[in-house]
Amino acid sequence: MKRILLVATVATFTMGFAQADGAADYANGGCVGCHGATGISTIPTYPNLAGQNAAYTAKQLKDFRTGARKDPTMNAMAAMIIGKEQSIADFLAAQK
């Protein structure tokens, strides 16, 4: 069931956005639950990512992965999207 939902979510993203790969990478990465489908978080302690400069976002994701920036949650999440930092950052930069 969870898998079906995920596939449906990814399909929706792929059809709905020009930056299809980044959208799928973002959805597949499990980011949506905390940062929202388009990078607008519904939980105040989770940062909004929509419209952020892509270079900044990509750097944060790499820093979370290497541990240069420390946050237990994001250190774990960044390890799941290795190589997809830039596509996700580009997708988020294009959101409003």
Per CB under 6 A, residues contacting ligand HEC are: 29-31, 33-35, 45-47, 49, 57, 60-61, 71, 73-74, 77, 80-81, 88
Residue matched to tokens 């994701």: 61
Closer to ligand HEC at the Cβ: 16 or 71?
A: 71
Amino acid at residue number 83:
G
CB of 64 to ligand HEC, least distance (A): 7
CB of 8 to ligand HEC, least distance (A): 18
* Whole-number Å distance between alpha carbons of 81 and 69: 16
CA atoms of 50 and 41, how far apart (whole Å): 9
